[in-house]
Structure formats: C-alpha cells, structure tokens
Amino acid sequence: MRKHIVAGNWKMNKTFEQADDLINEIVEKLETTELDRNTLLILCPPFPYLEMTSDYANDSYFMVGAQDVSSHKEGAYTGEISAAMLDSMDLDYCIVGHSERRQYHGESNAMVAAKVDQLLKHDIKPIVCCGEVLAERESEKQFDVVKQQIVEGLFHLSAEQFSNIVIAYEPVWAIGTGKTATPEQAQEIHAFIRNLIAEKYGKEVADNTSILYGGSCKPSNAKEIFAQADVDGGLIGGACLKAVDFLAIATSF
Ligand code: 13P
C-alpha cells in the first residue's frame, strides 16, 4: 500500500530561533496527535537548519528533507549543496524541480533528471515537482506540460529506481495564491500521472507511487483533496509554517 505523505516546504522562511520554536512546537504537538500509521510526515527546512531538524527528528515522528540539491557531484560550484553532503547528514528526502526553482533559477527537466540521479546514488528519495502555469491551464495544455516534465525528468530511470520517487503535482497558479485546484481537477491530473507511470513501469509500480498535491493546501481544504482516489497527501508551503495548521493537514486523511 502506498504511503500517505504530508511534507512541509518551508521555502525561504524563518530565522534560526524561529525555526527552533516551530520544530519544537511540532514535536510537542506530535506527542498528542494521532497520526495514521500509514502517514509519513516530512519537514523540509532551509539548508542551515537541516542539522537541527534532524536532531529533533531522532526523538520524534517525522523525517527530514532538503529543498534542493546540486546536479553536480562535487567541486567548484560555489553555494551549491551536493547529494553526498545531504547523505552525510542522513537526510531521507529532497525536493527537486519545484516551480520556483524552474521559474527563478532556470531549472530544466534535464537538470531535474541530473539531480534525481545524484540523489538516488545516495539513497535519498526525490520528491519531484511538476505542474503547469496559468496560461498553460487556460489553453488546456496541462496534460502535455506535466507529461513532458515527468517523461524528461524521470523516465530514464529503471523501475527499481523509480520505486523511490515521490511525485508532487503543484499547479503553479495555485501556489501561494489562495486559489486551490478543485478536488476534481487534482484527481484528474493525479490519475493521469499514475496512468503515465503504469504505461511505462507497470501497474504495481504505479500503484505504489505516492502522488502529492501542492498549492494553497490548508486545514480547510485538505480533507476534500486528500479524499480523492489518486491524491496521496500534500506538499505544503504557507500552511506548514504554523505547527497547528501543518498537523491539522497531516491528520486530514
Ligand atoms: P503554498 O502551500 O504556499 O501554496 O505552496 C505550495 C508549495 O509550493 C509547496 O511546495
């Protein structure tokens, strides 16, 4: 049975002290929160807070992920963080191909593929983002766009490698805008993605792949979205910055 996953992408938010407070509050609240046994909680704070977050994770019920990784192995790449470095800190997950990386840092599908390869070499599970911008949705190109992102970013993998992939469908027009995809819109694309995976890797791999929804997901809409047959959880931005909201979402299955 595929996992339910709720991952919090902190993006570029919180000072060190605020980060400490937030994780502390999440740990405290988790003591009295009934998480479904099949639900995985992942915190993806900024790089400088990964070590602190991992320390907390040792005594709690969540896993830790990074928000990005270099497509290079090592060397003269000032400011970059390699998969080997993340591995040496025992990280479990890493977001790749977020629309903000694609939009502001020119991350192409080929770069996504290279980053995924680096992570898999180090046994870190990639959370690979895909999703269309508003103009693409308005011209009904969302299926073509998402298909191209997945085919070019992931379909060079073997079935065994692919079994480590988590996919996050994040329509760009819904990110940080307060506009959420309707549950039907989310289900339609999630089913489309699962079908693509089934065609390439077979039904078993497809059935075992967790596909998350992201984009203005909050406590008031999570239940309805997560109730869709092919939605296995969420990649949460704004709402993960408040412990109470993040955990309300994590218990919305
Ligand atoms: P929001 O939840 O703030 O819309 O962000 C979603 C997102 O981009 C998560 O990666």
Q: How far is Cα 68 from Cα 149, in angstroms, rounded to an integer?
A: 17
Here the tokens at position 190 are 């999630």
| pTM for this entry | 0.98
Q: What is the largest CA-CA distance in the chain?
A: 48
170 is annotated as an active-site residue: yes
Residues 6+ apart with CB under 8 A from 173: 132, 133, 134, 137, 179, 215
Q: Which value, to the nearest 10 degrees, does the dihedral of the CA atoms of residues 228, 163, 147, 132 take? A: 60
Distance 46 CA to ligand 1 centre (A): 15
Q: What is the pLDDT along the chain (253 residues), one digit of tens a residue?
A: 899 999 999 999 999 999 999 999 999 999 999 899 899 999 999 999 999 999 999 999 999 999 999 999 999 999 999 999 999 999 999 999 999 999 999 999 999 999 999 999 999 999 999 999 999 999 999 999 999 999 999 999 999 999 999 999 999 999 999 888 999 999 999 999 999 999 999 999 999 999 999 999 999 999 999 999 999 999 999 999 999 999 999 999 9
Which domains are delineated in the chain?
4-250 (3.20.20.70)
Yes or no: say if 128 and 165 are a contact pair by the CB < 8 Å rule.
Answer: yes
| Pocket of ligand 1 from Cβ distances under 6 Å | 9, 98, 170, 175-176, 214-217, 235-239
Atom of ligand 1 nearest to the CA of 215: 4
**Packing angle between helix 109-121 and helix 142-154, nearest 10 degrees?**
40
What is the CB neighbour count within 10 angstroms for residue 36? 11
